[in-house]
Amino acid sequence: MGMLGLEQLLFLASRYPSQAAAVLSQSQHPVSGFPFAVAGINIGHLVWRLLAARKFRKHFYNLGSYELDDLHRLFCCLFLRFADFWQRQGASVMEFNSVKAKFKRLIKTEAARSDCLFRAPEESSETG
Domain assignments of the chain as residue spans, ordered by start: 2-111
Q: Mean pLDDT across the chain, nearest whole number?
A: 92
Question: What share of the chain in percent tops pLDDT 90?
Answer: 85
Q: Is the dihedral of CA 85, 47, 121, 39 positive or negative?
A: positive
Phi-psi region of 106 (alpha: psi -120 to 50; beta: other; left: phi over 0): alpha
The span from the first CA to the last CA of the chain, in angstroms, equals 25
Span 94-114, pLDDT tens digits: 999 999 999 999 999 999 999
Q: Is the dihedral of CA 96, 97, 98, 99 positive or negative?
A: positive
pTM: 0.91
The answer to whether 103 touches 89, Cβ cutoff 8 Å, is no
Residue 19 CB neighbours (<10 A): 18
